[in-house]
Chains A and B, each alone.
Chain A
Amino acid sequence: MHPPMSLILFFLTAGLSIGSFTGIFLIDLIKGLSSNVILITKLIATALIGLGAFSASFHLGHKMRAWKAIKRFNTSWLSREAVFSGIFGFLLFVSFLIQLFYNTKAYIILDILAVITGWLSAFSTAMIYTSNRFVPDWNTSLNTLYFLNMYGFLGTSLASLILYLNGNVESTKIMLIIALSLFIVGLAIRVAYNVRRYIIKLPTLNDALNLPQNREVKVLDKGSTTDNYCTTEFYYKKGKKLLPSLLPPAYILTFAVPIMLLITCIAKETNTSFLALSLMSATVGSFIERWCFFVEGRHVQNLYYGLL
């Protein structure tokens, strides 16, 4: 599949936004945090989800019609993603304003709703891909788990940095342990996803043409002298060539570097540079990793073109 950069950017910003706000919200519930930390997180999270929505709109042919995406909420995961992420951003912003200007704790109700809608948005995003049975690589609950977990480790990495910069050393340690656990679980899920990719049985051209399996079939002519929408959208030639050289840095930056840095921060001494480096590494790594996720996706329509 051709990787849409605008959507990959949305995954990252939404993950950082939803994950960080959830992390701070939970720490506030358990240990209590200063109003400043919560306000800063809300502001960053609102900006990030707004940036993500803006970025995702570049994937659309008609940006100004994007609002119409709420119409098929009952059947479309994309519609649900649009609705839930919109509500999440709105609740977060209103909660920020209430907390900033009014001396009331009423915003907590909005925060709880924001956490719920944020994760419903994350789940909907994952399900857009998981529910697609024509890309067998994606059609697994491991895909959903990875998306949710990625939102978790990106968000908690950001939350750790926010906490540490605001002098919450003890809370930072808790957040770091959560982040480290999520990175390790994320690595395990990605490995399982890769193993599954190699063992799943893909349909054949015989299946696509409804021919017996014992008949040899090959493509003689694709019907056009040049590429068309189907051969470029569902099969990214350049990407396939780049995959072997991009997968190792993707895994190293997404998992190895943050895991080593976080272990150092937990076991020895936490410092801003390590936390910032870990966050940057996980974000850049995840960008490459999600790019690979798209390029690795094998769509069954490629069978008709002899590309699967």
Chain B
Amino acid sequence: MGTIMGQLALVIDLNTCVGCHACAVNCKEWNTQAEFGPLSDFDPYGEKPSGVWYNRIMTYEIGNYPHTQVLHLPKSCLHCQDPPCVPVCPTGATFKREKDGIVLVNYDDCIGCKLCSWNCPYGCREFDEADKVMKKCTLCIDRIYDEALPPEQRQPACVLTCPAKARFFGDIEDPESEAYKLIKERNGFILFPSADTKPANHYLPKVETKVEVDDNVLKPDNPIFLEVLSRHKGGNR
């Protein structure tokens, strides 16, 4: 691997993400019909649908009741700066681009041995049972360099579609980029630092919001409670 000129990546604001899965759905929509598609689907309307997704969103609960927070974690290939999936690939199908640091799979060289997925600590590579090759997020490389698109649309589909504007895209090594500034200003962090893969994608931490509630509000004779109670009973009638 030569010197990486820049490092394109996603920065995801966990404080804003509402876990709506729009990024995953739009990723699937774009990538199933664009240059890297299709992404296979099996039994899509049946009992056990399955298929390839570049982006999956998981939801966690942090803390103990009643002091809990919900964390939605969108997770796609993190385009690691030291990607463990690259050296293990026996054919060189998986590679990291020197120009922009994007990790890609050359489907024509992939033999479908799955070793790259075994060596990814994030579970961000999936085997396409239809094409018999490994697939993963391309950072919408077929969008971001497409000069036929207006400049403001040369971004990954997931970034463009996010209704909460929780996703940002840019060169995390360029001090002028929004992605770089967000990481610096809002303490952007990476997943699984002990895995030592230097992920390029960063996350902006959740800000804990504490709501101070007056003890009187929680008393059973509080008129608001009484009103809620009467409405509830009314609803039952």
Contacts and interface: CB of A to CB of B under 8 A. Distances in A.
Given A72-B87, A233-B127, A65 B111 contact: yes
Interface in A69-87: 69-72, 75-79, 82
B59 A223 contact: yes
A36 to B, nearest CB: 38
Contacts of B195: 133-134, 300
A177 B59 CA distance: 58
Contacts of B71: 209
Q: Classify chain A: how many residues form its interface, as a range.
A: 35 or more
Nearest to A220: B59
Contacts of B221: none
- Residue of B59, B90, B126, B189 ringed by the most chain A CB atoms within 10 A: B90
Contacts of B61: 217-218, 220
Nearest to B72: A221
B88 A60 contact: no
Nearest to B93: A68
Nearest to B115: A78
Contacts of B145: none
B186 interface: no
B122 A301 contact: yes
Given A69-B90, A226-B49, A301 B121 contact: yes
A245 interface: no
B115 A128 contact: yes
Interface in B44-89: 48-50, 52-53, 56-64, 70-71, 73, 75, 84, 86-89
A188 interface: no
B119 interface: yes
Given A68-B111, A300-B121, A304-B122, A62 B87 contact: no
Contacts of B90: 68-72, 76, 78-79, 82
Contacts of B121: 134, 208, 300-301
Given A59-B113, A68-B109, A210-B193, A216 B91 contact: no
A92 interface: no
Contacts of B21: 223
A304 B75 contact: yes
A90 B110 CA distance: 25
Contacts of B111: 60-62, 65-66, 68-69
A198 interface: no
A61 B48 contact: no
Contacts of B93: 68
Nearest to B123: A301
Contact of A69 (B91, B118, B133): B91
27 contacts: A59-B114, A60-B112, A61-B131, A62-B132, A68-B91, A68-B111, A69-B91, A69-B111, A71-B92, A71-B109, A72-B89, A72-B90, A78-B113, A79-B90, A203-B194, A208-B192, A210-B191, A216-B64, A218-B61, A223-B21, A223-B58, A224-B53, A228-B50, A233-B114, A234-B123, A301-B122, A305-B58
Interface of B: 19, 21, 24, 48-50, 52-53, 56-64, 70-71, 73, 75, 84, 86-93, 109-115, 117-123, 126-127, 131-133, 189-195
Given A62-B133, A203-B192, A223-B24, 12 more contacts: A61-B110, A61-B131, A71-B109, A72-B92, A210-B190, A221-B19, A222-B58, A225-B49, A227-B48, A229-B52, A229-B117, A305-B123
